[in-house]
Structure 1
Amino acid sequence: MNTNLEINPLDRTFMMQKSSDKELLVQMALDSTSAFEAIYNQYSDDMLIYAMNIFRKKDVCEDVVQNVFIDFWSRRKELKINSLKAYLFQSVKYQIFNQIRNQKLSDEDFTRLKIIDLSMNACRKLEFDELELQINNQVLKLPVRCQQIFVLSRYEHKSNKQIAEELGISIQAVKNQISKALRSIRQNVTKEEWAFFFICLFHFL
C-alpha cells in the first residue's frame, strides 16, 4: 500500500520498538507516520485474508483494506478506540458491506460470514455477544405488534409473506413494522455496529 506519507527519519526508530496498540494509537494521533505504518504492517495481511474470506475478489478486498487505512489515518485525531484489532476488522466488514449491499449474495456468502463470526477470538466474540444483547434489549422496547413481527422475521426467519398470512395483515404492513423496528435499533448503536448487524440480518428480510 502506498500511503503517500513521508516518514520523518528521526521517527523511524519507533518502528523497531515493540509498542502496544494503545501506545501506537497515541503516537499516531500525534502524527507519527511510523506508528501508522507499524499498525499497517501488523494488521493489513490478516485484514486482507479476513476480507477475502467474506468476499472472494482480491482486487476489491485490497481496495477495502486500503480504504480502511486511509480513513483510519484521516480520522486519527478524533478516534476513540478501545480495541484496535476489533475496530479495524469491524471497519473491513463495514467496507465489504458497502461493496456488496447492491449485489445479491448467495447462501454460501452468508454461511461463510456466519462461520467467520463464530470463529472470532474470545475478545471479539464478547463484543459480538454484547451487541446481540444490546439489540435484544432494544427489541424488547418495541411496541408489541412491531416486536412480534420483527421476531418472526429476525429470529424465526419467516418471509414477509408468511408473516402477513400468519397475522392476517398486508405484506406492506409487515414491511412498515420491520422498517420501524430497524429505525429504532439504528438510533441506539454506532455506525459500525449497525453495518455489522445489518449484514447478518440482510439475508432474512
Structure 2
Amino acid sequence: MKELTDQKLYERIKDSDHSAFQELFDRYWKKLFGFTFRMLQNVEQSEDIVQEIFLSLWEKAPLKDVAHIKSYLYSAVKYQVSSVIRNQKWELDWDTIEGIYEVQVPTYDPLELEEVNRFVEISIDTLPPKCKEIYCLQKEEGYTAKEIASNLNISPRTVEGHLHKAKKILKAKLQLYDVLVLTVFYL
C-alpha cells in the first residue's frame, strides 16, 4: 500500500478497502493533527476534528469524487477549525493568534491585531475557490508555487496568477488597515 499514490488509495477507499484507508490515515493523521493543533491549541478538539474528517471521508467516499485528496483533507480541516472558532465566538487568546501566523509584532495593540486577523480571515473566505485554495496552501501550509502546481496538476504560472489575484483582492478589501501590518502580517 505504501507505494500507492493518494489518489489510488482513495479509489480503493471508494470500494471500501480498509487497508487503503488505514494507509491514507497513517500518511496524514499526524500532519493534519499538527496543522489543527497549531490553530486551536487544544489537543482534544484537534483530535476530534481530524477523526471526524477521516470518518466523513470513509463514509462519503463512495458518493464523492475527490481529485486532490491532500488538498481535500486540509480544506476539510480548515473548514472544521473555522466552525469551532466561530462557535467559540473568537475567544482565542492573543498567543494563539500569533502562533497561527508565527509573527510577533510587539509595537501593535493586540486588540487591533485581533480585529485585523478576524477581518482578514473573513476576507480570505470570500476569495474565489481556486484562489482561496492556492493562497491557503502557500500561506498556511507553506507550499511553494512549484509544489502547489505539482499537487493540483496546474502550471506554476497559473499558481502565481491565482496568488497575485488573491493578494490583489485582499489588498483592496484591507486598504483601511495599516499598510505595515498588512505587508508584514498577511501578504
TM-score grouping bracket, smaller chain normalisation: 0.5 to 0.7
1:89 aligns with 2:74: yes
What's the TM-score, normalizing by structure 2?
0.57
CA RMSD of aligned residues (A): 3.4
Structure 1 residues 130, 114: closer, same or farther in 2, change over 3 A? Answer: farther
Q: CA deviation at 1:136?
A: 5.7
Q: CA deviation at 1:19?
A: 0.6
Q: Which residue does the alignment assign to 1:154? A: 174
CA distance in 2, matches of 1:82, 1:49: 24
Q: Which residue does the alignment assign to 2:8? A: 23
Identical amino acids, percent of aligned pairs: 20
What's the TM-score, normalizing by structure 1?
0.53
**Preserved CA contact (<8 Å) 2:41 2:96:** no
**Preserved CA contact (<8 Å) 1:68 1:92:** yes
Q: CA deviation at 1:129?
A: 7.2
**Preserved CA contact (<8 Å) 1:47 1:89:** yes
CA distance in 2, matches of 1:134, 1:80: 26
Q: Look at both structures and tell me which one has the larger radius of gyration over its CA atoms.
A: 1
Counterpart AA for 2:32: M
1:109 aligns with 2:93: no
**Preserved CA contact (<8 Å) 1:48 1:62:** yes
Q: CA deviation at 1:109?
A: 3.1
Gaps of 5+ in 2: 103-137, 150-155, 179-185
Counterpart AA for 1:95: Q
1:38 aligns with 2:58: no
**Preserved CA contact (<8 Å) 1:86 1:124:** no
Q: Counterpart of 1:75 in 2: which secondary structure?
A: helix
Cα deviation, 1:102-152, whole Å, max 9, x if unaligned, reads 322344433433349355222349769737736967x9xxxxxxxxxx94x
Q: Which residue does the alignment assign to 1:68? A: 53
Mean CA deviation greater in 57-66 or 125-134:
125-134
**Preserved CA contact (<8 Å) 2:53 2:73:** yes
CA distance in 2, matches of 1:65, 1:33: 18
Q: CA deviation at 1:72?
A: 0.8
Counterpart AA for 1:117: K
Q: Counterpart of 2:176 in 1: which secondary structure?
A: coil
Q: Alignment partner for residue 80 of structure 1, among 40, 60, 65?
A: 65
CA distance in 1, matches of 2:72, 2:83: 17
Q: Counterpart of 2:62 in 1: which secondary structure?
A: coil
